[in-house]
C-alpha cells in the first residue's frame, strides 16, 4: 500500500512539474493590457483633432475614443499622428510620474547641469498629461525590414526622444513548502506544489531618432552610451554625479535630455 501511495505521489509530482513548466512559459507572455483615460486630445494623420475619453489597447496599438454624442471611434496607429491623455483617477494600471519635467525641463532651472531631478511626490497627480506618438516599428525583429505604425510614450525632449512601451506581463509564482504547497491539507491531499500567478507592468525603452527610426534600448545604459558614443563619458559621469538609474523611466529621461544638450547645434 505504501509503495502504491509513493508511486501515485511521484506520478502526480512529475505531472505537476510538466504542467507547471508549460504553464510557467505561457504565464510569462504578455497579457491583455487596456488603460482608460478620463480625457484626451488626438491628432490624426489627416490633420484633424478629436477629443474625449480614451481607452488605449496597448497590445493591439488601437485606441477607442468616446465622442460627445457617446459614439465610439476606433482608431489604429496608422490613422493617428500623436495623442495626449489625462490620467484617470481610478486606473490602477497607470504609473503616475511627472514626465512634464523631463520633456520640458524643470519649472525652475535646468536639468542639464548642477540641479538634480526634483524628488518625485508620492501623491497621485490626476492632472498629469502623457504624450504618445506614432512611429513605424519592426516590433523588435532585428532582421525584418517590415515596419508597421505603433504607439510609443514620449518621456523626454528631442531631438533624440526617449520612448517607452508598457506591457502587462503575467508571471508564475510557485508556492513551496513554506506556504503549505507540499502539505497534506484540504484540496491538496498529495502535497502537489500549487501554482499562482501575478501581473506586473514591464517597461521597454527606445530612442526615437531624428530620422524617424526607433532604436531599442534593451540594455539601457550600454545601448544609450553606444548611441552617444562621443559623449559617453560625460553622460556616464552626469548619471553618477546625480545618482540616476539607467533602468528607471523618469531618471533615464533626464539622462537623455542631458545627452541631447551635448549635441552640436544644427
Of 105 and 233, which is predicted with more confidence?
Answer: 233
Of 144 and 94, which is predicted with more confidence?
Answer: 144
Measured distance CA(105)–CA(112) in Å, rounded: 8
Task: Report DSSP letters for 108-158, one per residue.
Answer: SS-TTTTPPPPPPPSS--TT-EEEEEEEEE-TT-TT----EEEEEEE-S-S
Confidence band (pLDDT; 50, 70, 90) for 263?
A: confident
Closest CA to 183 of 195, 197, 193, 173: 193
Question: Domain residues of the chain, as ranges?
Answer: 27-31+95-218
Q: Is 103 helix (H, G, I), strand (E, B) or coil?
A: helix
- Neighbour count for residue 30 (Cβ, 10 Å): 12
Cell of 221: 545604459
Output the pLDDT for position 193: 59
Confidence band (pLDDT; 50, 70, 90) for 191?
A: low
Handedness of CA 172, 178, 183, 187 (dihedral sign): negative
What predicted TM-score, i.e. pTM, was given to this entire model?
0.70
Give per-residue pLDDT as tens, 5-38.
334 333 333 433 333 443 344 445 667 888 889 8
Give per-residue pLDDT as tens, 121-178.
434 444 578 999 999 999 888 887 888 999 999 999 889 999 999 988 877 766 555 5
pLDDT of 74 higher than 50: yes
DSSP 8-state secondary structure symbol assigned to residue 183: S
Cis peptide bond upstream of 227, omega within 30: no
Output the pLDDT for position 172: 73
Amino acid at each position: 500500500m505504501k509503495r502504491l501511495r509513493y508511486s501515485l505521489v511521484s506520478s502526480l509530482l512529475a505531472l505537476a512539474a510538466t504542467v507547471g513548466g508549460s504553464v510557467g512559459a505561457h504565464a510569462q507572455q504578455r497579457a491583455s493590457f487596456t488603460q482608460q483615460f478620463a480625457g484626451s486630445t488626438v491628432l490624426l494623420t489627416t490633420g484633424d483633432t478629436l477629443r474625449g475619453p480614451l481607452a488605449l489597447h496597448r497590445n493591439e496599438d488601437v485606441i477607442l475614443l468616446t465622442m460627445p454624442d457617446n459614439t465610439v471611434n476606433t482608431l489604429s496607429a496608422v490613422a493617428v499622428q500623436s495623442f495626449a491623455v489625462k490620467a484617470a483617477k481610478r486606473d490602477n494600471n497607470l504609473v503616475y510620474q511627472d514626465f512634464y519635467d523631463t520633456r520640458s525641463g524643470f519649472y525652475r532651472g535646468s536639468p542639464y547641469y548642477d540641479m538634480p531631478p526634483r524628488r518625485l511626490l508620492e501623491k497621485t497627480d490626476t492632472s498629469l498629461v502623457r504624450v504618445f506618438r506614432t512611429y513605424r516599428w519592426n516590433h523588435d525583429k532585428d532582421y525584418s525590414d517590415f515596419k508597421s505604425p505603433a504607439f510609443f510614450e514620449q518621456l523626454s525632449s528631442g531631438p533624440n526622444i526617449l520612448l517607452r512601451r508598457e506591457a502587462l506581463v503575467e508571471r508564475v509564482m510557485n508556492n513551496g513548502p513554506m506556504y503549505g504547497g507540499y502539505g497534506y491539507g484540504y484540496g491538496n491531499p498529495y502535497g502537489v506544489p500549487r501554482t499562482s500567478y501575478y501581473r506586473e507592468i514591464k517597461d521597454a525603452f527606445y530612442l526615437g531618432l531624428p530620422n524617424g527610426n526607433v532604436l531599442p534600448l534593451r540594455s539601457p545604459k550600454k545601448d544609450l552610451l553606444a548611441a552617444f558614443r562621443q559623449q559617453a563619458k560625460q553622460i556616464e559621469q552626469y548619471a553618477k554625479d546625480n545618482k540616476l538609474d539607467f533602468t528607471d523611466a523618469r531618471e533615464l529621461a533626464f539622462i537623455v535630455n542631458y545627452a541631447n544638450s551635448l549635441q552640436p547645434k544644427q
